Structures are given as structure tokens and as C-alpha cells.
Structure 1
Amino acid sequence: MLKTLLDGQFPDNLPFCLTERPIIPTPDMDYDDIEIPGRDGTLTIENGYKNITIPCEYNILEDYNVKALTRKIKAFFLNKKTLRFSDDTVFYKIKKIQFSDIENDIEEYGLFKITFELDPFQYELTSAFDITKPGIITNPGSYKSLPYLKIYGSGTLVINNQSITIQDVADYIELDCDIGNAYKGQIDMNEHMRGEFPFFKVGENSISWSGNITKISGHGNWRHV
């Protein structure tokens, strides 16, 4: 039976299942077309991929108390961050969840609908790395990735041709390149970093450093369009 895994979990005590595997759309690129006098055609600027929407229909499998079941269903779906289908090895980041009129739909049809609005990308389940000497990190995805990095020590980190300087860090600093934030636990560490947040291009990425950096660990956040 195909399951909907939210934050990696599916409650076996809830009597519902997908009526069919949902269609996974390909994200659309958001473009700006700018007309320039004296130029043939337009200047096209890529702004990034748009979110995708996946509607899912669920069938109720057994007798139930509608009101109690509705509460349990909402509790399962609310406040979740990731979506995965049990027949696949990638997950999606949830932006929004929209419910149909669950209670009425169950009473009338024995089913209900949930619509997921998602980040455009499919993310691989495993992307962890831990390196203690310069080398190569391979991005196996089909699009550049925005990693999470945990850098031990201070110095200059170079990924491909991009340099990031870490200053006055006694133990470690964390870089979340997706949201553009440097921190250590709950402590703001942005003033200890100089340079742009790095990314990993598709394929091989060289990584090296100088200073007293001893180790770099993290997650590549490999993703596919």
C-alpha cells in the first residue's frame, strides 16, 4: 500500500490510504522578459523555479467516528515539514497544506482530499559528508545544491573558486546556505563570516582550506528538478 510519509512518519492507526499515486509535476521556471531598445528579441532573466502543487485523494478503509477521525487526520497533517511517498527515495519540503471539507467529504463519499504546496525540488534522503582534508565532493543531483556546513576552526574555505573567510571561531560555526545564515546553535555568528554563502554545482566540487580549520561536516542537500 502506498503511504504518505510526513516528516518520515505514517500513523498505522489511521484507517486511510491514497486512492492512487498522485501525479508529480515538473516545476516551471519564473522568467522576466525585458525589452531593450535597439536589441532584437528580449533579455530573459531566470528568477528561479516556482513551487509545485500535488493534490492527493485518500480513501477511508473502515468504519469510523467521523468527528474523531477528522481531528486525528488534521493532527497528522498539520505542522509537518517534509513529504515523501513510500515507493520513492526522495522527499519534498512542504510550504503549505490545504484541506478539503474533510468531515463532509468523509460522510458523503468516504474519502477526503489534501493539497500540498511544495518547494520545487526533490531532495535525496541522504547527503551527509565529513571531511578532514581537502578533496572533492560530488553533487549527484540535477541542480545546484545549497548545503548545510559545520566548519571546525577559523580560516579560509574555498569551494570551487569561491572563498569564505571564517574569523575568530574557537570551536565551530554552522552555515545554512539555503536561508543564508551563520550561527552556532542559537547564537548568531554572521559577523564571523566573510563572503557569499557557497553552493555545490552538479558533479565534482573541489574543497580546500587554510588556517586552523580541522574538519568540515554537513549535508549537501542534493536535489533534482
Structure 2
Amino acid sequence: MRATFHIFYNGESSKDVGLSVVSRPTIPVPKREYETIKIEGRDGELYRDKGTYEDIEIKISFNFVSKNPDVWAQDLRKVKKWLYSGNDERLILSDDPEYYYGVKQAVMSDSERKVRRVGSFEISFICEAYMYRIDGREEKEIGNYLYNPYMKAQPVYKIYGNGIATLEVNGNRVTAEVSGQLNIDTKLGICYNAANEISNASLTGEYEGLYLEEGDNRFKHTAGYKVALVPNWREL
């Protein structure tokens, strides 16, 4: 492992809080989720593919060096503040900076103080199975066509205007009541306005129909409205 390897989390590098990574973590291969079905009188079991993946756990071991032994505990508190701040729960590895993992939970082990200034501990990051592209968070106005070079994605659509608008994605249509701006989050299955107030009643139709398929995607929407999306490009 190169000595420069580090991680970014909550908007900061692990190096900025006095941490050094012991070794580059092994990234688990996501496991596909299946429903097990037992049929009486039939050998073995059947498995129904749910089309989803289990979370993955990324474990990273760190060494921690304090500025001086008298402020060791104080410096360690800064590390815990960084870890649990909730400012930006994306895990980015320094040698793969174009992608991030969406962290659901981060757990820090007890810190072992080896000498007066040096300690060690492990952080376990429970993450979504998918890796997301950094540039997939950029908002872009849509036309009639968009090519998705990655896996099926769950975008956020943003409709600007006033009144009743229709949006059609790959032949799947929804109707939206828009007052200035309506955001449609297909991953969370919610709608909200520009003030981040939930507005689920504003949408008629299925969120799943608005996913971006791998490859070609075609769009139609009511004239006079601006429609943009945040694609949330992702891969395994």
C-alpha cells in the first residue's frame, strides 16, 4: 500500500484529523438477495431473485498520532467529532476518487493506546452495495434522450414551473402538480418542494417507472416546464 493512501469522509481527509491508514481495505463483493422458497414434495429449494443487493461492510484500521501526549484525549475527541458529524456521509478512497460509497452507519472500535502519542483503532463503515460516481450528483437539464453507461440508476428529477405537468420516461408516465419547483426522488420514493417540504400528494404515478435504464433512455414532458435530473450514476 502506498503511504499516501487515505480516505475522505464527512468532507475531510482522514489525514487532516491525524489518522494514517494501516492498510488499504478489502472491498467486499455485494451479495445478490434471493427469497428462498420450499415446495413440499420437491427436492431442494427454489430461489427468487429480488433484484436487490445486501449492504457491504468496509473495515479500515487506523493509526492515530497525537500532537503531544498531554492532548492525546483531546485530539482523539476531534477524530470522533469528524466521524460522527454527519456533514457528508460519503466514503471516498483516495485511489478511486471518482466514486463514493453511501454510508449508512459508521462504528469506531475502542482505541488502543500503544505508546504515549500513538493509538490504533478500526472503523467499520456499513455501506450501500453500490458505488456512486461523484459526477452523478450534478444536475443536468434533460432533452429527449440520455445515455446511461452505468447500471440502472435512481435519479432525482426537478420540475420547474407552475401547474400540472406530465413527465414520461421510457414510456412510463407520471403527472405532477408543480408550484415553482417539485423534486421527485425515485430512490427514496418521495416528492418535496424547493423548501424541502414533503409533497408526495403532488405526484400521480410510479417512482420505479422513472428509473434510468442501462443504455438508452427517452423522455417527454409538458411544454413550458423545465425538467432537470440528478442521475445518481452507480455501479457495483
Give TM-score scaled by structure 1 length. Answer: 0.87
Aligned to 1:51: 55
User: Structure 1, residues 83-114: CA drift from partner, whole Å, max 9, x if none?
Assistant: 10111110011111111112x34558732211
Aligned to 1:27: 30
The letter of the residue matching 2:92 is: R
Aligned to 1:208: 220
Larger CA deviation: 8-17 vs 176-185? 8-17
Q: Which runs of 5+ in 2 are unaligned?
A: none
Contact 1:130 1:217 in 2 (8 A): yes
Give the match's secondary structure for 2:13. Answer: coil
Structure 2 distance, partners of 1:38, 1:213, is 61
**CA RMSD after TM alignment:** 2.3
Decide whether aligned partners of structure 1 residues 206 and 129 sit closer, same or farther in structure 2, where only a CA change above 3 A counts.
farther
Larger CA deviation: 83-92 vs 63-72? 63-72
Identical positions, percent = 26
Give the match's secondary structure for 1:120. Answer: strand
Aligned to 1:70: 76
Contact 2:31 2:54 in 1 (8 A): yes
Structure 2 distance, partners of 1:4, 1:11, is 6
Structure 2 distance, partners of 1:32, 1:208, is 36
The aligned length equals: 220
Structure 2 distance, partners of 1:39, 1:18, is 51
Decide whether aligned partners of structure 1 residues 105 and 161 sit closer, same or farther in structure 2, where only a CA change above 3 A counts.
farther
Decide whether aligned partners of structure 1 residues 52 and 43 sit closer, same or farther in structure 2, where only a CA change above 3 A counts.
closer
Aligned to 2:169: 159
1:90 and 2:90 correspond: no
Decide whether aligned partners of structure 1 residues 23 and 137 sit closer, same or farther in structure 2, where only a CA change above 3 A counts.
same
Give TM-score scaled by structure 2 length. Answer: 0.83
Structure 1 distance, partners of 2:216, 2:229, is 17
Decide whether aligned partners of structure 1 residues 182 and 13 sit closer, same or farther in structure 2, where only a CA change above 3 A counts.
closer
User: Structure 1, residues 48-76: CA drift from partner, whole Å, max 9, x if none?
Assistant: 11100011011234653321121011011
1:95-106 equivalence runs, <5 A = 95-102=104-111, 104-105=112-113
Aligned to 1:174: 183
Contact 2:99 2:133 in 1 (8 A): yes
Q: 1:17 aligns with which of 15, 20, 36?
A: 20
User: Structure 1, residues 132-156: CA drift from partner, whole Å, max 9, x if none?
Assistant: 6x42112222x21111110123321
Aligned to 1:116: 125
4+ runs of 1 displaced by more than 6 Å? none
